[in-house]
Structure 1
Amino acid sequence: MTTIQVNKESDGIFPDNWKKCIGTGRLGLALQQEYLEHLKTVQQEIGFSYIRGHGLLHDDIGIYREVEVDGEKKPFYNFTYIDRIFDSFLELNLKPFIEIGFMPKLLASDDQTIFAWEGNVTPPNDYHKWESLIKAVTQHFIDRYGLEEVLTWPFEIWNEPNLVNFWKDADKEEYFRLYQVTVNAIKSVDPAIEVGGPAICGGSDEWIKDFLTFCKNENVPVDFVSRHAYTSRPPHKVTADYYYQELAEPDKMLHEFKNVRQMIKESEYSDLPFHITEYNTSYSPINPVHDTTLNAAYLAKILSEGGDYVDSFSYWTFSDVFEELDVPKAQFHGGFGLMGLGHVRKPTYHLFAFFNRLGSKLLYRDDQVIVTEKEDGSMVLIAWNLVMEKGEEFNRSVDIHLPLGEGKYFASSQTISETYANPWKVWQQMGRPRFPTKAQVETLKQSAIPLFESAQYDVMGEGLTLDLSLTKNEVKLIEIEAVKDESETYPGLDDSLIDSY
């Protein structure tokens, strides 16, 4: 049994950096109906500020084309699809966190690609044409959306160039050249546009040191540093459908956040913003852990503490409408998404929705509890019981004493666990239908609703103690507010006259 005493006089602040940005698959997916339906719900119930995805310059968006004029090939820039996509984002109060990449085929220096949708990961075959393309894209955004708006959009150069799969040969010097040409092209349109990188992934933080040293030595602009973070170890089994990995403890990710923040502080750019533009447990879009309650309980500490070290951290991704390894092969396939196919909310979706209920005043926080206060004086807390060991009996008991004044209080709770709001388990019980019927999808949606409970408490001056018993991988949201009792305004009210009451 753990006992927690919450201090009303705490002056801590809980930042909302956890919801500053959300990830998406390639931008072309935004032309699909289900994708937009998922995004609309996510914005209504969580409400992120920015969205980041791959493929701005991929051929399915069609920005870069070449036409023949008088026997000469000349660039032609087509913004039809990207305008439609960015319009959709902005209508949902999402600003683009722009990732510059991948390479249009007509500008590519080689044929190396990544993903089923063949994102080209090679340098440009003509840096002058690349420079002209970047200027044209940047200027178009300003022409369409206005300079004031575009100045709020960060421009990140490339994606994970320290990995050979994402940048030919993981050539650091070539990436620095790409960065220099690209940032100078963007800044030539307007020097106030924010540009940064290097968007690395894995344990290559020396890349960040070298990147900042390069920017300093070559007088290349840099307005923010970006990195990715995943905590899965190398796979111990890979099948046609699934990718199985063990996870490190959540502290590993927080340590990476903290380590890079310290690295920035010790550099010539000590005040630069630091963005985690991708993070999750596993980096594979077919790892079943993403569908589980474990994933939610695991990430609770990341959401609770990550904002202490980074200016934003972007969960990868909001939806299972995602095609890095081709079209998803089943209802639950280990996809990154908060939202599963068919509009089925996964456990991690509810984790984010729970955190969206928290107040901005931080009253208490530890490894498995966060307690906050809202401006109206109501208290909101989240408690979780992360269990990474196999087995069933890992319950955890905790008493939380809240400093409430005398009076009546209404308390409500929502719970996700291995039993509640676990559609993955229900899908297993159904026999794992790859392509469930409409009726089965409706059943999964019903099974994805958190357990709701409520009570009224009469506090007599000593505050309120909540006795919680959390089951394996349970995450519980509790909201407490003062009761304004209006029962006396109902003449003749007498519930005892109702049969059974």
Structure 2
Amino acid sequence: MLTAIPRCLAAAALALCLSPALAQNSAPTASAEAAPIPVNVHAAGTPFPHYWEQMFGSGRAHLVMRAQYQTDLDQVRKVTDFQYVRFHAILDDENGVYSVDKNGNPFYNWTYVDHIYDALLAHGIKPYVEISFMPNDLAEKKILQPFWYHPNISPPASYAKWDALITAFARHLIARYGINEVSQWYFEVWNEPNIGFWGGKPAQSTYFALYDHTARALKSVSTRLRVGGPATAQAAWVGDMIAHAAKDHVPLDFVSTHVYGDDSAKDVFHDNRTILPYQMVCHAVKKVHEEILHSARPHIPLIWSEFNASYANHQNVTDSIFMGPWMANTIRECNGMTQMMSYWSFSDVFEEQGVKSTPFYGGFGLVAEDGIPKPSYDAFALLHHLGNRLLPAKATDALVTRNRHGQIVIAAWNLVDPGQSGPSKTIAFNLQGLPALAHASILRVDSQHGDTLDAWKAMGSPKYPTVAQIAALKKAAQVGPPQAISVHDGHLVVSVPPMGLAVITVN
């Protein structure tokens, strides 16, 4: 993830760079109850894999060994279908992977690599291995990226030594975990080489050289290993990546890229079209999806390996109840265009900008410092209840699904811009074919349910909450038990407050 410093060039310019885009009146305005949305509850529907909750990003590799990281991992896994985690810097010097002796001969040390991957597997999570960054003893130059831990983003001084490192890395993983396990992982080459994480010049051609060497080294160990890229920011280079791999017969098992809600149309689409922040992610996904369809590999899997509503640490975005309707709407708009989308990130055990001194600073994570769940955590927990079949429903503020037990599960939301207000929205459904004895229950995330940011502000925004305050915030994160909601002759009406998300289960 490239944070606000590189994208905006200076941390002091952060508000100037981003506030206008997020403050504009971008979200649809809530209105009075419209005509009921007709839904045939017995319709076949279409498959609805939970592509948004199977993979998450996190702070860098070294943090996996921290107890709070692993606690947060379990906490998120408990309420989602969490299967894979992606993080930067597995090859960084703090993990001790690569060094040279006095004669310049390489020495590999896998101790911390083993601790990191052992911990993930012990908690039921598989690695999505981002191969980064450059060990200093292997780097061509000292090109340090501005993150607090200053990874070296230089190309290798010797591709023969890089190839040997990657080959040894793959062999060690297979020897330790077995090919049947490691073949289920993903290996992604580098991170965001197009915007400041790669020191090669020109960026694209030198990145392709890095990719080619890495992919071929991995496949030389086992053709069952899955490798892909380009892991770019701003939905870039995917078409070029496929064309390059096809032309030069380079292994490419999947493609990957990133985008954030406050990326600009100029950076993503290279023009000045108007795309509102809540629409940017799925507009970018559609762009790449269509590039793939028109490429030499129209069926290659697309993994969106980073996304979020903002890359810029806006407290009133990523820490707030805004994330409930934003996430639900993103699921609706992006459905069917990507194999997995990796929310950045599952936890605020995260140090790209240093050690933060407050639990709510606009961090990316679902879980704040001290294990405090944010509204985004509750939103993911509620959206996990959605079924595996998507039923036809003409709505821009609802998803209607059926689960494996035959229950109808509906998400309904009221998307209002961060920091803004508006009226409640009344959404009605005509559930055709529903049994006469059907009953329904509702769970909510809104200003009255799970709003830990407001609860923290009500305490006076303590930088270092006491043990008692932490317990109170964890209690405030609880959305409460399901509440009964009336459903009569298939007619169901739900009122959703501004920035609210509701999930209704009809039995």
| SS in structure 1 at match of 2:377 | helix
Bigger CA drift: 141-150 or 7-16? 7-16
Residue deviations 1:135-186 (CA, integer Å, cap 9, x gap) = 0000111101111111111111110001124444561111111111111111
Shift in CA distance, 457/331, structure 1 to aligned 2, threshold 3 Å: closer
Query: Could you list the runs of 5+ residues in structure 2 that have no partner in the other structure?
Result: 1-32, 265-273
Aligned counterparts of 1:275 and 1:22: Cα–Cα separation in 2: 12
In structure 2, the partner of 1:294 is 322
Aligned counterparts of 1:426 and 1:300: Cα–Cα separation in 2: 23
Contact 1:18–1:306 (Cα < 8 Å) also in 2: no
How much does 1:97 deviate?
0.8
1:100 aligns with 2:134: no
In structure 2, the partner of 1:493 is none
Residue deviations 1:287-327 (CA, integer Å, cap 9, x gap) = 54210111221121112342310011000000011000011
1:476 aligns with 2:506: no
Contact 2:183–2:226 (Cα < 8 Å) also in 1: yes
- TM-score of the pair, normalised by structure 2: 0.87
Matches within 5 A, 1:219-258: 219-233=249-263, 248-258=276-286
Contact 1:404–1:464 (Cα < 8 Å) also in 2: yes
How much does 1:457 deviate?
5.8
- In structure 1, give the amino acid aligned to 2:432: P
Identify the match of residue 406 of structure 2 among 354, 371, 377.
377
- In structure 2, give the amino acid aligned to 1:273: P
In structure 1, the partner of 2:332 is 304
In structure 2, the partner of 1:32 is 66
Identity, % of aligned positions: 34
Identify the match of residue 182 of structure 1 among 209, 214, 225.
214
How much does 1:67 deviate?
3.0
In structure 2, the partner of 1:328 is 356
Matches within 5 A, 1:46-445: 46-68=80-102, 72-114=103-145, 115-168=147-200, 171-202=203-234, 205=236, 207-233=237-263, 248-285=276-313, 288-365=316-393, 366-388=395-417, 391-403=420-432, 405-445=434-474
In structure 2, the partner of 1:494 is none
User: Which has the larger strand fraction?
Assistant: 1
| SS in structure 1 at match of 2:94 | coil
Aligned counterparts of 1:409 and 1:9: Cα–Cα separation in 2: 14
Once superposed, which parts of structure 1, at least 4 consecutive aligned residues long, lie more than 6 Å away?
none
| SS in structure 2 at match of 1:57 | coil
How much does 1:247 deviate?
9.1
Contact 2:332–2:399 (Cα < 8 Å) also in 1: yes
Contact 1:162–1:170 (Cα < 8 Å) also in 2: no
How much does 1:232 deviate?
0.8
How much does 1:49 deviate?
1.5
Shift in CA distance, 395/167, structure 1 to aligned 2, threshold 3 Å: farther
Contact 2:306–2:341 (Cα < 8 Å) also in 1: yes
Aligned counterparts of 2:276 and 2:485: Cα–Cα separation in 1: 41
Aligned counterparts of 1:29 and 1:285: Cα–Cα separation in 2: 20
| SS in structure 2 at match of 1:17 | coil
Residue deviations 1:178-224 (CA, integer Å, cap 9, x gap) = 11111111111012211111011115x3x222222222222211111
Aligned counterparts of 1:390 and 1:44: Cα–Cα separation in 2: 30
- In structure 2, give the amino acid aligned to 1:217: K
- In structure 1, give the amino acid aligned to 2:40: N
| SS in structure 1 at match of 2:255 | strand
Query: Could you list the runs of 5+ residues in structure 1 that have no partner in the other structure?
Result: 235-245, 482-501
How much does 1:80 deviate?
1.1
Residue deviations 1:41-100 (CA, integer Å, cap 9, x gap) = 1112213111111011011221112234xxx23211111111111112112221111111
Comparing both chains, which one has the higher relative contact order based on Cα–Cα distances under 8 Å and sequence gaps of 6 or more?
Answer: 2
| SS in structure 1 at match of 2:115 | helix
In structure 2, the partner of 1:15 is 49
- In structure 2, give the amino acid aligned to 1:414: L
| SS in structure 2 at match of 1:19 | coil
Aligned counterparts of 1:39 and 1:265: Cα–Cα separation in 2: 35
Shift in CA distance, 305/458, structure 1 to aligned 2, threshold 3 Å: closer
Contact 1:408–1:456 (Cα < 8 Å) also in 2: no
Shift in CA distance, 313/389, structure 1 to aligned 2, threshold 3 Å: closer
Aligned counterparts of 1:165 and 1:144: Cα–Cα separation in 2: 30
In structure 2, the partner of 1:242 is none
Alignment: residue pair count: 462
- TM-score of the pair, normalised by structure 1: 0.88
